[in-house]
């Protein structure tokens, strides 16, 4: 190899090394632009264990603290922790204090131990419940995010859509720019659901394609399995069905229910869910949901327009048990 080629490759190596070192120290000084999360060996999605970091969302810095199990801790004056399960909606991407969280009024005497992460589906929650220890007769909260969880009841494999394994999370926190490499690989070589659902109208069309009889069948199987694990663990769950973001269409500064075909079908789905609350068989489950106002202001959504902000969602909380 000529001296020119040697010098050329040496220069490229030095430049790449310099960029890596520079990126490393810059990331260490700044808040993260993403949440490191991965799939566990027990097939649920989790944040890293014992982490203390901040997340940068537009002009806000959101503080995250996790415990030894990877649950986000949202503290108030109480030492009594309520375990909460779900996906990114319940994780609270914009939540910086106890008062911001959507359960803070309904459970104002509790701090929250939030076992949630993006792409974590209903059966991943069951896997997490199975792995954890609980006190006898403990109460927990599970959020069923209608926006996406109705598509995670059958043939949902989070490892197909997540670039990281749980064992990678510590490394990502130490060298955050490596996450960009994992995410690029995920985008190029995997069918990334998160990217797909960024299109509001695609998600509305997807919902209209759903067969409600099939969905009813899949929901019942899930509720049977959930009730069984709750009985086995001797715990009770408040199962909350939260309003889907795709129910609304953008109109200037607000989001409105503009497509009545979508809304009518959604109300049929809600009717199915509410009927479950009259079945005594589900003795370990208390049913609840969030209401759907006709108009939601744009600022009540997170910046990605795929999550209703927790502070607003808590105003919509209602029980549907008989």
pLDDT tens profile 73-103: 999 886 789 999 999 999 999 999 999 999 9
Distance CA 220, CA 209 (A): 20
Highest mean pLDDT among 20-34, 177-191, 261-275: 261-275
Q: Which pLDDT does position 8 carry in this prediction?
A: 53
Pairing between β-strand 295-297 and β-strand 254-256 as defined by DSSP bridges: antiparallel
Q: Any idea what DSSP says for residue 244?
A: P
Q: Which pLDDT does position 149 carry in this prediction?
A: 97
Distance CA 255, CA 21 (A): 44
Distance CA 86, CA 111 (A): 16
Average pLDDT over residues 291-298: 87
Distance CA 175, CA 41 (A): 23
Q: What is the pTM of this model?
A: 0.86
* Domain ranges, ordered by start, for the chain: 1-30, 34-319
What CATH number labels 34-319? 3.40.50.1110
How far is residue 190 from each of residues 30, 182, 297, measured CA to CA in Å?
29, 11, 34
Q: Is the pLDDT of residue 295 over 80?
A: yes
Of 272, 271, 267, 314, the residue nearest 294 (C-alpha): 267
Q: Is the pLDDT of residue 274 over 50?
A: yes
Task: Collect all residues with Cβ–Cβ distance below 8 Å to 314 and sequence separation of at least 6.
Answer: 101, 102, 103, 104, 105, 106
User: What residue has token string 């260490």?
Assistant: 28
Of 136, 149, 38, 134, the residue nearest 83 (C-alpha): 134
pLDDT in tens, 219-255: 999 999 999 999 999 999 999 999 999 998 876 677 8
pLDDT in tens, 26-63: 445 468 888 899 999 999 999 999 999 998 877 789 99
Long-range contacts of the stretch 67-72 (C-beta < 8 A, 24+): 67/113, 69/115, 69/132, 70/46, 70/115, 70/166, 71/47, 71/113, 71/114, 71/115, 72/47, 72/112, 72/113, 72/114, 72/116
């Amino acid at each position: 190899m000529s001296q020119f080629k040697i010098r050329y490759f040496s220069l490229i190596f030095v430049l790449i090394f310099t960029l890596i070192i520079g990126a490393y120290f810059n990331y260490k000084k700044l808040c993260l632009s993403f949440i490191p999360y991965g799939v566990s060996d027990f097939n649920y999605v989790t944040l890293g264990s014992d982490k203390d970091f901040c997340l940068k969302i537009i002009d806000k810095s959101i503080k995250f603290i996790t415990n030894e199990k990877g649950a986000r801790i949202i503290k108030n004056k109480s030492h009594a922790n309520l375990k909460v399960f779900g996906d990114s909606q319940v994780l609270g991407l914009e939540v910086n204090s106890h008062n911001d969280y959507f359960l803070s009024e309904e459970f104002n005497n509790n701090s929250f131990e939030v076992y949630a992460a993006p792409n974590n589906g209903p059966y991943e929650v069951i896997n997490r419940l199975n792995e954890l220890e609980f006190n006898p007769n403990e109460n927990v909260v599970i959020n069923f995010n209608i926006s996406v969880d109705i598509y995670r009841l059958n043939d949902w494999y989070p490892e197909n859509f997540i670039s990281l394994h749980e064992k990678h999370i510590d490394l990502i926190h130490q060298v955050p720019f490596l996450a960009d490499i994992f995410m690029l690989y995920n985008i190029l070589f995997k069918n990334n659901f998160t990217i797909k659902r960024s299109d509001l109208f695609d998600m509305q069309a997807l919902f209209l394609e759903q067969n409600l009889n099939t969905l009813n069948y899949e929901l019942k199987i899930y509720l049977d399995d959930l009730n069984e694990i709750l009985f086995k663990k001797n715990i009770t769950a408040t199962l909350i069905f939260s309003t889907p973001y795709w129910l609304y269409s953008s109109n200037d500064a607000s989001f409105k229910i503009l497509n009545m075909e979508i809304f009518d079908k959604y109300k049929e789905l809600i009717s199915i869910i509410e009927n479950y609350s009259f079945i005594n068989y589900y003795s370990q489950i208390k049913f609840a949901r969030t209401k759907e106002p006709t108009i939601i202001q744009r600022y009540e959504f997170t910046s990605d327009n795929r999550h209703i902000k927790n502070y607003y969602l808590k105003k919509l909380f209602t029980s549907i048990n008989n």
